[in-house]
Each structure stands twice: as C-alpha cells, then as structure tokens.
Amino acid sequence: MKLRYRYRIYPTDSQKIALAKLFGCVRVVWNDALAFCKEAYSRGEKYLGESELQKRFITLAKQTENRQWLSEVSNIPLQQSIRDLGQAYKNFFTSCTGKRQGKKVKPPQFKKRKSTQSARFRSGGFKINQHNVYLAKLGLIKVEWSRPLPSEPSSVTIIKDAANRYFLSCVVEINYEKLPDNGQAIGIDLGMIDFATFNDGEKVKAPKPLGKKLKRLRKLQRHLSRKLKGSKRREIARKKLARLHAKICDTRTDFLHKLSTKVIRENQTIALEDLNVSGMVKNRKLARAISDLGWRSFRTMLEAKAQMYGRDLRIISRWEATSQTCCCCGEKGGKKELDVREWTCLFCGTTHDRDINAATNILKVAGGHSETKNGRGGRRKTTVSAASCETSTHRENKQLSLWMSHKSLFFT
C-alpha cells in the first residue's frame, strides 16, 4: 500500500526565492500545455500525448526568448507537471464514460499564482539525509522528521500553502501487519452535540475549531476587506487570516486522526451509519456546524485504516430508523425532534438516551444484515405503523398518564 508522509521543512531565504522560481516554472508549463490542449480540443484535434507536450513546452520552449528562464530550474518537476496534466485528463475522460466510480471529475483547470503551490521530484532528483533533504538545483533543505520514514520514497513533493508554510510530502510503500482479532464490536452514532456516541455509553465531544475561532475569524476577515488591493498591509492581513484557517484545519484533522486510530485499534468490527452530508449542509441553519465536525473525513479515515489493519467496517443504510426504534423491544416510536435527547418507549417502558440507543441499533443492523460496503444497499424509506405514530417523549408520556387517570375516573 502506498501512503504519503508529510513533514515540515524550513528553507532559507535564498532557497525560498529558488522555490518561488520553481513553482512559477511548473505553473507556466502546466498552463501553457493546458491552453494548447483546450485550443486543440476546440478545433476537433486529439490529445497529443505527454512526450509531444514535453517536447513542445519544455525542450523547445527553453530555446525561445519568452521561456528561456525555464532552464534555471530542474527539468524533473517540469516533466512531472506534464505527466500530472495527462493523468488529470485521463481521470476526466474515465469519469465521463462512467468507468471511474464516485463523484464526477472536472476537467483540469489553470493554476493560479496565489493558490497552493507544489513541485514534484521523482527518483534521481532528491536524496533523503538524516537532518535534511537534497533537491536538484535547490541544495540541502532542513526537514523536521516528526516520524521515521518506513521506506525509501519513490517521489517527494514540495508544497507551499496559503499561510507560507513549506512541507515535504513523501510517497512510500508500506506493508502493514494485520492487527489480531480481539472480537470487539462497536456501533458509532455521529451527532452534533457529541461528535461520536458509542453503544457502550461512551461519548466523545467534538473540538469544533471553527466555532471557537469564529469571532477571531470574522475580525481578520473585516481587516482584510478594508485593505487596499496590492498593498503590503493587505498581504500581511491575508497571511494572518490564512494562518488562522490552517490552525482550524489542523485542529480538526488531528482530532479525527486520533479518534479514528483509537477506534480501529480497540475494535474488530465497527458499524457506522451512511449520512447524507452533502444534503444536510444545504440546511442554512446547520450547514456551518455540520461542516465544522468533519463527518465525511472521519468515515474516510476509518475506511482507509480498516483496510490497512484488517478491521471490518460496516456501513448501514441511511434509511434505517435507528433513532426511532427501541433497542430493547424493537418497536418504533415515531420521528423525534432534534431537541429530544431522552425518551421512554411506550411498549416496554425503557428510558433511552437518544444517541446511545441509535448507536446500539446501528450495531444490531450491521450485524444482522449484509449491507453493501458503500452503505447504499437500502433505498427504502422507513414506514411507521399506525400503532406507533406517537413520539414517546417525556412530555407526551406525562400527557398520556394524565389522560389515562382521567379516563379511569370517568368510567369507574
């Protein structure tokens, strides 16, 4: 299995200038080749291929006066830029024909100077050392090795984000050892008040980094909007805003990685519900809070780590009435509003915590049915019988008991 290991690097001032030249050359080669491909497509011509594009926009372009400065940087990232363009077009074509599963892939777009910059070096253009990394025509760059590399990387990518931070992304081959089967099974209900509720009663609070930094974020956005475009003060304000966005993203990602690793290591079978996150974020009142949680990222991490460590991840259909069904007797109590956190079953009289009951039902459904791996096996909607149309909340239970007492007094 191939994975990416990312490390923070600290180039010197002269190396930052050289990296800026490298990023600019990679971007120009990509944009020139993409513009030619789009013009050729408008004329009805076919895609030339990577070798012809490299010859035209790298080898021959260096001999022209407008592009002679391409020879000042390493030729390896320029060639890799053309390969990446070819792969982008391949993904787009396979997505259009239906051979590629998942969401439709858009055609490649032009690269911008102010977005995230990157340049990839393959074997022969880099060398990994104990405290640094050597890159062709850039020299030795200091690296903070936060964890050891499991093997020699096949390629490395230099990345500069919007907050002016530099990273080294290494592609390595890993053979993971399967974790021993401990026989543990767990059902997880994802929510907004508690990020994850397990069927054993444990609840995990979400860090909600965006909600905690929202006041500071709005302040920095106001400061940026008031600055004159192109001025130095606007660039300073932009960097401050970008650093805050990076802090929010890093906090969320760190939380999701730690929680997903803990769940994978402690359980053999993990049951999760297929949530329609893209549809839920269309609710303007809950969109920001849902996006701040990162439900989809958590599921993606669980899927990847379950495959690596030999765990069984089961995704049940979204149409299962896990919050409406009593986990003790199996009867349905009807739809409940979001503010109803506890309810009592009208059939067996058991008092349930809403989230714990849902997590228990998720585990039961995952263990009793063979759902598809992507969780889209069930397209049916839950039907509520006439005998269970009442929502059994504490408030309605009081009204029911009061009505029963008056009824007994009237008929006796």
Is-contact 191 353, C-beta < 8 A? no
Three-state secondary structure string covering 16-42: HHHHHHHHHHHHHHHHHHHHHHHHHHH
State yes or no: is 274 an active-site residue.
no
Contact 143, 132 (CB under 8 A): yes
* β-pair partners for 39: none
273 is catalytic: yes
Does the active-site annotation cover 200? no
CA 59 to chain centre: 38
Contacts of residue 76, defined as CB under 8 A and 6 or more positions apart, other chains included, come to: 121, 122, 124, 125, 136
Catalytic pick among 32, 189, 292, 303: 189
Q: Which of 32, 292, 355, 371 is catalytic?
A: 355
- Between CA 166 and CA 236 the distance in angstroms is 18
Task: Using DSSP, state whether 376 is helix, strand or coil.
Answer: coil
Separation between Cα atoms, residue 219 and residue 52, nearest integer Å: 50
Q: In what order do the strands lie in the sheet with 203-204?
A: 203-204, 196-198, 185-190, 269-273, 312-316
* Identified catalytic residue from 273, 274, 292, 303: 273
Strand partners, 362: none
Distances (CA, A) of 56 to 32, 48, 67, 70: 10, 10, 12, 13
- Alpha-carbon gap, residue 2 to 25, rounded angstroms: 28
Residues marked as catalytic: 189, 273, 355
